[in-house]
Amino acid sequence: MIAIGVVVRPAGPQDLEALHALALTAGLGMTNLPPCRERLTALLAASAAALAGVRKAGSQILLVMEAAGEVVGTGCIFPSVGGDWPFYSYRIGRLRQTSQALGKVAENTILTPVNDYDGSAEVGGLFVRPGLRGMAGGRLMARSRYLFMAEHRDWFGDRVVSELRGYQDVDGRSPFWEAVGRKFYGLEFKEADRISVGEGKQVIADLGPKYPIYLNLLPTDAALAVGQYHPDGARAHALLTEEGFRFEGCIDIFDAGPTMVADIDSLKAVRDSRVSTVTAIGPCGDGPEVLACTGAVQSFRASRGQVWWNDDEFRVSPELAHALMLQIGDRVRHVEF
């Protein structure tokens, strides 16, 4: 398990170099974690503005996970997508056609461009240093975002989506992009990925297909990639599913990765969390281990630790109190870890 005392907090300008190092490790397809200092600087500035109260459409809140003073993970939240430009997806559908003259029935899978998730919140950019995977670091980083949403519920609508990175082969090649994107844009996947980070998907959507794509016209490897996540995305998919996300048949317009969706109030971390006031700091005996958060906007902090409570008392362990800088009388939101 990842060490108690690890803290999730809003990112700041001091995190630029650490985020750049994480971005270089993450590779292609992590559009919310670009390996470019200039763009990361812009993201940090936009996140700071959003947390300061400038709630523009498309604002991105960037969080980092810190262990022993070192940034080891990151994740982001978009309170609302589809404001500055539409949020594009392909919806997987079925088309059944019948010829009475030939006595034949044709059933085809089609991909239709849609904007079904405009106005939804989005979580993305989840990345934890490889050495910490399998140690609950991803769970802590991911679920801290949902506690942030619970603490700032008026900032968000009813739904939240998450686009999982689509399938790529061992050479970083996206079969879906090769079969569809390249033919419309004449760009390498890497270049399209760069443009989407810098200019937004509107640039790509301007030149994209406006009519349904028949899946049976695509090469086999491209068709098989539809709705499949990247080999490194299995854990992220499991975390989303465990939290209450589901696949509703929409995919990313670049790499055909699945778009997962959930009702915010049904997320486990939102639905099952409770708010308590700290009455004591000390050993918690057999009390449960929780993910807890405190503080609003720029002061938000989340960490894992032990608590104990009854009808009259809510006690937090010294380690958790230190991580969250808690004092007697402070308000804490917590959920079973």
Q: Is 230 a catalytic residue?
A: yes
Kind of pairing, strands 314-316 and 280-281? parallel
What is the distance between the alpha carbons of residues 62 and 65, in angstroms, rounded to a whole number? Answer: 10
pLDDT at 226 over 80: yes
Same domain, 305 and 188: no
What domain range is 263 assigned to? 7-92+112-269
What is the distance between the alpha carbons of residues 34 and 27, in angstroms, rounded to a whole number? Answer: 9
Same domain, 52 and 125: yes
Same domain, 265 and 278: no
Same domain, 149 and 72: yes
Q: Is residue 103 part of a domain?
A: no
Which residue among 219, 250, 269 closes a domain?
Answer: 269
Residue type, 59: S
Helices 234-243, 137-151: axis angle to 10 degrees equals 40
Confidence (pLDDT) at 56 = 64
CATH number, domain at 317?
A: 2.40.40.20
Which residue among 269, 285, 310 closes a domain?
Answer: 269
For residue 5, give both structure tokens: 């005392």
Q: Are 209 and 182 in contact (CB under 8 A)?
A: no
Q: Among residues 270, 330, 72, 76, which one has the least CA distance to residue 320?
A: 330
Same domain, 278 and 265: no
Q: Is residue 252 part of a domain?
A: yes
3-state secondary structure of 115: coil
DSSP 54-104: ---TT--EEEEEEETTEEEEEEEEES--SSSS---EEEEEEEEEEETTTTE
Confidence (pLDDT) at 170 = 87
Same domain, 69 and 217: yes
Same domain, 299 and 171: no
Q: 20, 230, 237, 334: which one is catalytic?
A: 230
Kind of pairing, strands 159-163 and 121-128? parallel
Q: Where are the alpha helices (DSSP H) in the chain?
A: 16-26, 37-51, 137-151, 175-176, 182-185, 189-199, 201-207, 220-225, 234-243, 268-271, 318-324
CA distances from 242 to 149, 246, 273, 295 (A): 17, 9, 15, 26
For residue 290, give both structure tokens: 């929780």
pLDDT at 35 over 70: yes
Same domain, 173 and 56: yes
pLDDT at 55 over 90: no
Q: Are 175 and 169 in contact (CB under 8 A)?
A: yes
Which residue among 269, 284, 313 closes a domain?
Answer: 269
Q: Are 240 and 260 in contact (CB under 8 A)?
A: yes
pLDDT at 203 over 90: no
* Structural domains in the chain (count): 2
The structure's pTM equals 0.92
Confidence (pLDDT) at 216 = 95
Same domain, 254 and 283: no
Q: Is residue 177 part of a domain?
A: yes
CATH number, domain at 63?
A: 3.40.630.30
pLDDT digits (tens, 9 = 90+) for 95-138: 999 989 998 999 999 999 999 999 999 999 899 988 776 668 88
Q: Are 229 and 166 in contact (CB under 8 A)?
A: yes
Q: Is residue 101 part of a domain?
A: no
Same domain, 84 and 147: yes
Same domain, 248 and 277: no
Give the residue, 291 or 187, on which the prediction is more confident.
291
Q: Among residues 253, 90, 99, 284, which one has the least CA distance to residue 166?
A: 253
Residue range 59-68: mean pLDDT, rounded: 93
Q: Is residue 98 part of a domain?
A: no
Angle at 142 between CA 139 and CA 148, to 5 degrees: 130
